[in-house]
């Protein structure tokens, strides 16, 4: 389907193609997986398909709850029609539990509950290794305005509440996650990118087992089994059958 379409951007795990309409794009979820600034790489057959279904479901849940997102339609497994956005080069991270890089940088207690949640903004820039920002640096670099940042924080906290609640019902603890935002042609802040086990920490609510990309970061053998398990937990059974996952 994407043979005739023009590739606009190739990321580490997704490709963005032009769509028929100028104000839309087609996001293709690839099977590639990377960690540590892209230093560790692999390819797991079916990962892209799993992530496209998980992300579509979570974006649908957010839309139903009034969050403006770029999601329009799951065209086929692995392929999502989305609104074209001018992306803001920020990685907006929300944390409910202290783990990951937070423990390497600050004296938090391992697995300490963070209430209120911590919102952290990193500069999405491989050359500078995604450094943590503060508002002054973000504004001075021309990445976003104070109003943009206030709006992004407000939306991120809402998203955290909606997804934490939704995932809890599915047996998943939302530990932390990364979001990316962009602006539409009218300048509205819209949620873009994806929400999947590649971009979140999900723990089994009972056993606290890892159900996300940490399995790959830690060198576990069963990464794809985990992604399929999460897909089955989050996506409705009828959709898994329909999309032949
Ligand atoms: P940490 O800063 O602890 O490594 O990551 C916090 C959360 O944000 C995790 O859920 C992690 O998956 C996500 N995250 C942070 N940076 C990136 C990134 O560059 N790419 C992806 N896919 N996720 C990220």
DSSP one-letter code for 208: -
Domain with 19, as residue range(s), is 7-84+222-243
Is residue 174 situated within a structural domain?
A: yes
Strand pairing of 200-204 and 71-76?
Answer: unpaired
Is residue 17 situated within a structural domain?
A: yes
* For ligand 1, atom 7: residue with the closest CA: 177
Q: Are residues 112 and 213 in the same domain?
A: yes
Is residue 11 situated within a structural domain?
A: yes
Q: Measured in angstroms, how far is the CA atom of residue 176 from the centroid of ligand 1?
A: 8
pLDDT of residue 2: 47
Strand pairing of 189-191 and 24-29?
Answer: unpaired
Taking the CA of residue 99 as reference, the ligand 1 atom at the shortest distance is 3
Is residue 95 situated within a structural domain?
A: yes
Q: Are residues 239 and 194 in the same domain?
A: no
* Number of domains into which the chain is organized: 2
Is residue 186 situated within a structural domain?
A: yes
Lateral strand order in the sheet of 181-183: 86-87, 181-183, 189-191
Q: Which of 35, 100, 102, 123 to mutate to test the pocket of ligand 1 (most atoms within 8 A of CB)?
A: 100
CA-closest candidate to residue 27, choices 12, 37, 19, 16? 16
Q: Are residues 158 and 111 in the same domain?
A: yes
**CA distances (Å), origin 73, targets 48, 99, 120, 229:** 16, 34, 30, 23
pLDDT of residue 243: 79
Q: Are residues 120 and 207 in the same domain?
A: yes
Can you give the C-alpha Rg of the chain in angstroms?
Answer: 17
Q: Measured in angstroms, how far is the CA atom of residue 200 from the centroid of ligand 1?
A: 7
Q: Are residues 182 and 138 in the same domain?
A: yes
- Cβ-in-10-Å burial (0-12, 13-18, 19+) of 227 comes to buried
Q: Measured in angstroms, how far is the CA atom of residue 22 from the centroid of ligand 1?
A: 31
Is residue 202 situated within a structural domain?
A: yes
Taking the CA of residue 198 as reference, the ligand 1 atom at the shortest distance is 22
Q: What is the pTM of this model?
A: 0.96
Q: Is ligand 1 within 6 A of the CB of residue 213? A: yes
Q: Which of 199, 200, 203, 223 to mutate to test the pocket of ligand 1 (most atoms within 8 A of CB)?
A: 199
pLDDT of residue 1: 54
* For ligand 1, atom 14: residue with the closest CA: 178
Is residue 104 situated within a structural domain?
A: yes
Q: Are residues 92 and 36 in the same domain?
A: no
* For ligand 1, atom 20: residue with the closest CA: 199
The low-confidence residues of the chain, meaning pLDDT below 50, are: 2
Q: Measured in angstroms, how far is the CA atom of residue 240 from the centroid of ligand 1?
A: 26
DSSP string, 67-120: --BSEEEEEETTEEEEE--EE-SEEEEEEEE--THHHHHS-PPTT-EEEEEEEE
Residue 95 and residue 35: Cα distance in Å, rounded?
Answer: 19
Is residue 2 situated within a structural domain?
A: no
pLDDT of residue 39: 87
Q: Are residues 73 and 187 in the same domain?
A: no
| Block residue for tokens 């579509």 | 56
Residue 18 and residue 29: Cα distance in Å, rounded?
Answer: 15
């Amino acid at each position: 389907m994407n043979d005739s379409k023009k590739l606009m951007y190739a990321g580490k795990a997704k490709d963005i193609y032009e769509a028929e309409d100028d104000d839309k794009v087609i996001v293709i979820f690839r099977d590639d997986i990377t960690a540590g600034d892209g230093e560790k790489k692999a390819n797991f057959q079916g990962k892209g398909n799993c992530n496209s279904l998980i992300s579509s479901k979570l974006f649908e849940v957010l839309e139903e709850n009034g969050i403006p997102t770029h999601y329009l339609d799951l065209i086929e497994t692995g392929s999502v029609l989305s609104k074209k956005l001018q992306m803001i080069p920020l990685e907006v991270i929300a944390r409910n539990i202290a783990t990951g890089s937070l423990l390497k940088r600050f004296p938090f207690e391992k697995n300490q509950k963070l209430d209120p949640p911590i919102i952290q903004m990193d500069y999405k820039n491989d050359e500078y290794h995604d450094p943590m920002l503060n508002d002054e640096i973000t504004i001075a670099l021309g990445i976003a305005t104070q109003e943009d940042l206030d709006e992004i924080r407000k939306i991120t906290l809402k998203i955290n509440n909606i997804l934490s609640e939704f995932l809890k019902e599915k047996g998943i603890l939302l530990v932390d996650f990364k979001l990316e935002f962009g602006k539409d042609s009218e300048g509205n802040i819209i949620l873009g990118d994806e929400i999947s086990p590649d971009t979140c920490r999900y723990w089994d609510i009972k056993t606290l087992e890892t159900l996300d990309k940490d399995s790959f970061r830690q060198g576990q053998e069963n990464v794809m089994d985990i992604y399929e398990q999460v897909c089955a937990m989050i996506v409705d059974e009828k959709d898994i059958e329909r999309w032949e996952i």
